[in-house]
Amino acid sequence: MTRPRHFSMLRDFHLADWFTLANAVCGVFAVFAAMRFLQDGVVRDLMLGMALIPLAFVFDALDGRIARWRKVASTLGRELDSLADVISFGVAPAALAYACGLQGGWDMLVLAYFVGCGVSRLARYNVTAETLADGGDTVKHFEGTPIPTSLLLVVLLAVAVWQEAIGDAVWFGVIQLGPWQLHPLVLVFALSGSLMISKTLRIPKP
């Protein structure tokens, strides 16, 4: 009996899987950049973190194209893609928003809701794709907006940073609601999350 070689799982990865991992790495470093900004206050770190999200989007788009081109789509690749997307388009945008000043109690609740919606949306997509795959079909549309659309939120935050509208100067100010603060700007994350879990909104899959 042949013993498994060290790192045998990585040896079995396809080219598309490496692009998916690059997507995840971009998201992780974006989170690190947000934390670095909170520690040192260097705006360049924050902007670097935001710049990594469009790069993650490019890797996310390429991994699917490469998988179809090489005809190596797999269940592992689909799950890997979803996990990477949770980091780059769920957790990272929420961390960047927090770093920009959306740090009230209600803000954190909304950002957690946003990430939860992203996780739920990806789980639903994977279940749908697996069910259709058993029938020899493919997913023809998205139910709800795909989680990479959160790139638009990061672009919005980048504009805010460029205009120095972060921290105490964040757009639309702050509201005290009971024991916690709410920055109205965070409601765009609530809207984005709600659109992701919509059952009625259907978007054709390219």
Mean pLDDT of the chain: 86
d(CA 92, CA 54): 12
- Nearest C-alpha neighbor of 182 from the set 194, 195, 170: 170
Domain-located, residue 89: yes
Per-residue pLDDT, 199 = 81
- Nearest C-alpha neighbor of 156 from the set 187, 181, 202: 187
Q: Which of 119-123, 140-144, 151-155 has the highest mean pLDDT?
A: 151-155
The enclosing domain of 15 has a CATH number of: 1.20.120.1760
C-alpha 121: how far from chain center:
11
Per-residue pLDDT, 127 = 81
Domain-located, residue 30: yes
**3-state secondary structure (DSSP) of residue 120:** helix
**The residue count for the chain:** 206
- What's the pTM value of the predicted model, to 2 decimals? 0.87
Domain that holds residue 131: 10-204
Domain-located, residue 144: yes
pLDDT-derived band at 17, boundaries 50, 70, 90: confident
**3-state secondary structure (DSSP) of residue 92:** helix
Domain-located, residue 22: yes
Mean pLDDT of 109-138: 80
Identify whether the C-beta of residue 99 lies closer than 8 Å to the C-beta of residue 37. Answer: yes
What does the block give as tokens for 105? 């109690």
Domain-located, residue 4: no
Number of structural domains (the chain) is 1
What's the pLDDT tens digit per position in 109-118? 999 999 999 9
| Residue with more model confidence, 3 or 57 | 57
Per-residue pLDDT, 74 = 63
Is the pLDDT at 172 greater than 60? The verdict is: yes
d(CA 18, CA 93): 22
Is the pLDDT at 1 greater than 70? The verdict is: no
- DSSP summary character for residue 163: T
- Nearest C-alpha neighbor of 28 from the set 59, 74, 7, 6: 59
Domain-located, residue 3: no
Identify whether the C-beta of residue 164 lies closer than 8 Å to the C-beta of residue 146. Answer: no
Least confident of 63-72, 98-107, 130-139, 173-182: 130-139
Domain-located, residue 5: no
Q: Which residues pair with 177 in a beta bridge?
A: 180
Domain-located, residue 199: yes
Identify whether the C-beta of residue 121 lies closer than 8 Å to the C-beta of residue 56. Answer: no
